[in-house]
Structure formats: structure tokens, C-alpha cells
Amino acid sequence: MDLQVLNTTSPVGIEEDPLDLMEEIDQLKKERDASILAHFYVDGDLQDIADFTGDSLKLARDTTQVKTSTIVFCGVHFMGESAKILSPEKTILMPDLQAGCSLADSCPADRLAAYQAELRAKGHDFQTVAYINTTAAVKSLCDWIVTSGNAREIIDRVPADKEILFVPDQHLGRYLSSVTGRPMILWPGSCMVHEVFSIQDLLRAKRNNPGSLVMAHPECPANILELADIIGGTEKMRKYVASVTDPKTFLVATEANMIHPLKKLAPQHEYIPVPGIMTSTGETCACNRCPHMARNTLQKVRDCLKHGSPEIVWQPYFTAAQEVLRRSLLQ
Ligand code: SF4
């Protein structure tokens, strides 16, 4: 029987050549007047074809600098929302609208509104500080938005006579409270990736790699942060490794795709991702990969450029969120 090559698009089950996809994406970008923004937690191939890469803070700021009329945001849903809110005149496409975030999901807007009302009824006089990993509906209920890159500076802007309600990441909130000395009421949320790093594997890796340094994201629980030599968001990690000239071994406790930009920036070092642990069985797993970020693929970038969808569409509550985001990230 003759075999015919019928696929010009992406039939289910057939792998497309990444180089062909990259070429197609390049062409479609020109046709659609589009730029690609990619978070450090998406696959390295996507970071390599992006016009801008970075953490949430940098990418949010980059959206306002992009010259094209369309942005393809390789990240998760709340990041696409922030891009639309900061650049309402632009078309914001996402490779997969289902790319969510366990941390954002842990703080639904209706539950936050009810909790704020309860605290006020009890006489608390507070401002709400939200980590950027929240939905736009939650942002619209908050006074400030922080990222791991600007949190200390923003917390210093909260008047000293106000209490702070910090949502949704309890680990980041606890860490920020310890470094700023500001007591905080913490929302009990966490990230499914940073929550499950294996302390045993980290200790073993330290033992097997004498002289290695542990870098941990502040979304990690306190028992991981206690072992860290460097605590910081992804931009701080990049700056740190670039500042060390002698080759070192770094044990990295954050989403494993972060190794890609670290290697590119400072290839003299060795980077070992700290493994996750399955809470159900206690076995080491590949939980240090974010399943939401992994929804971004070259095929989906090509498809969203081709079809002009899915798109983040302006919602009524974006207006209130816009004021908070601009005040926090751009001023
Ligand atoms: S790594 Fe965690 S915080 Fe980041 S998008 Fe994934 S689930 Fe959300």
C-alpha cells in the first residue's frame, strides 16, 4: 500500500519537526504583527524563539514596551490577563487557555471577598497585598500586587499603621514577613510545584556535591528555605549565577525549566534540579515541572498565531485590577 503524507497541520499523534514549526512561527509572527513573550518556566524551545523572556515582573513590564499589535504569551492564564490589563489596546493570544495555576486557584475571588469582610467586621484595619499569581478578579479586590522581584519594595509602601493580609502564597508571605519585619495575616495557599521539593533528596544532593550552593525560590516551604544559600525569584537567581565567575554546582529548587536560562547565561556552572516528592506515596517524582506551564508547546504557538485565538478578552473587573497593577508594577 502506498503511504501518502497528508498532514499539513498537526494531526493527533504525529510529531511535527520542531525546526519546521519554528520556521512557520517566524513567518506567522510577521503576517500577524506579533511578538512572543515566554516565562522562564516554559520549555526551553519556546524560550529560544521568544522575543522577550523573563519572570512575571519583567514580562508584565515588557508587555508595555512591545511594538507589535499582538502578543503571544507563553505562560499561564493569570499572566495573559495581566498582559491584557497593562496593554488593553493589544491582542493577547495564549497557546492554551487551560494553562492555569494551582496557586491562583487556591484563592477564589468570592472567598477572598468574604474573608476581607469578615476581617473588617472583626475590626482589622488592613491592606491586601497579592502575589501576582492571582486571577484578575482577585487583583481587583487588592491594594497592591507583588512579584518575588519587587515584594520587599512594595511592602515598604504599605503604611506602617495598617495590617497586611497577604494572598495567596503562605510560604512567600511567611518569608516576606521575616525579611521585612511586618506581621502578616496569611492566606493558606501554595504552589503545587514548590510545595513538594524533597528535603531528603536535597540533603543527599548536598552530600554528593561538596561545595555546592542551594538556590531556592521563596515559594518553597520553610524547611527548604532553611537549607538555601540564595533565596530569590528567577531574576535574582540569574543575576547571582552571572556574578560568580569560578565554576560552581548549584542545586536549584524551583521549576526545572529554569535551568535553561541559567545555563544560557552562565554556562560555566553545573545546575542540578532538586527533585519533587509525591505526597501520596513519598516517592521522588518529576513534580518539579509545572503541568500548567507544560501546556505551552510549539504546535500550540503556531496554531494560535494561525487562527488568532484563543485570546484574552477584556472583562469588566479588569478596570479595577488595572489601577492596582499599574500602581504596583509600573510606578
Ligand atoms: S509553577 Fe506553581 S505558581 Fe507557577 S504557574 Fe505553576 S502552579 Fe502556578
CATH code of the domain containing 226: 3.40.50.10800
209 domain residue, yes or no: yes
As given in the structure block, the three cell numbers for residue 199 are 528535603
On whether both 210 and 284 belong to a single domain, the answer is: yes
- Percent of the chain at pLDDT > 90 equals 82
Per-residue pLDDT, 189: 95
155, 164 in Cβ contact below 8 A? yes
Lining residues, ligand 1, CB within 6 Å: 41, 76, 101-103, 133, 191-193, 255, 290, 292-293
4 domain residue, yes or no: no
On whether both 239 and 153 belong to a single domain, the answer is: no
DSSP secondary structure letter of residue 75: S
Overall average pLDDT of the 105-111 stretch: 97
Any long-range contacts for 287-291 (C-beta under 8 Å, 24+ apart)? 287/192, 287/193, 287/196, 288/193, 288/196, 288/197, 288/254, 288/255, 288/256, 289/193, 289/255, 289/256, 289/257, 290/41, 290/76, 290/192, 290/193, 290/255, 291/192
Q: Which of 103, 105, 254, 287 to mutate to test the pocket of ligand 1 (most atoms within 8 A of CB)?
A: 103
Using CA positions, which residue lies closest to atom 8 of ligand 1?
Answer: 101
On whether both 174 and 250 belong to a single domain, the answer is: no
On whether both 179 and 223 belong to a single domain, the answer is: no
On whether both 61 and 26 belong to a single domain, the answer is: yes
On whether both 64 and 146 belong to a single domain, the answer is: no
Total domains, the chain:
3
pLDDT tens digits for range 131-155: 999 999 999 999 999 988 788 899 9
329 domain residue, yes or no: no
On whether both 155 and 216 belong to a single domain, the answer is: no
Domain span at residue 94 reads 18-99+294-315
171 domain residue, yes or no: yes
On whether both 134 and 214 belong to a single domain, the answer is: no
Overall average pLDDT of the 239-243 stretch: 97
Q: What is the DSSP string of 111-144?
A: HHHHHHHHHHHTT--EEEEEESSS-HHHHTT-SE
Per-residue pLDDT, 11: 52
* Boundary-marking domain end, from 158, 190, 222: 190
Overall average pLDDT of the 264-285 stretch: 77
pLDDT tens digits for range 159-193: 999 999 999 999 999 999 999 999 999 999 999 98
**Phi/psi at 244 (nearest 5 deg)?**
-100, 115
As given in the structure block, the three cell numbers for residue 252 are 536549584
- CA distance linking residue 107 with residue 268, whole number of Å: 40
31 domain residue, yes or no: yes
On whether both 161 and 175 belong to a single domain, the answer is: yes
Q: Tell me the CA–centroid distance for residue 292 and ligand 1, in Å.
A: 7
246 domain residue, yes or no: yes
- Percent of the chain at pLDDT > 70 equals 92
Q: Tell me the CA–centroid distance for residue 165 and ligand 1, in Å.
A: 21
- What is the pTM assigned to this prediction? 0.90
Using CA positions, which residue lies closest to atom 1 of ligand 1?
Answer: 290
Radius of gyration of the chain (CA): 21
Q: Tell me the CA–centroid distance for residue 95 and ligand 1, in Å.
A: 17
Checking if the pLDDT of 1 tops 50, the result is no
On the question of a cis peptide bond just before residue 310, with omega within 30 degrees of 0, the verdict is yes
On whether both 26 and 110 belong to a single domain, the answer is: no
Per-residue pLDDT, 285: 57
On whether both 179 and 232 belong to a single domain, the answer is: no
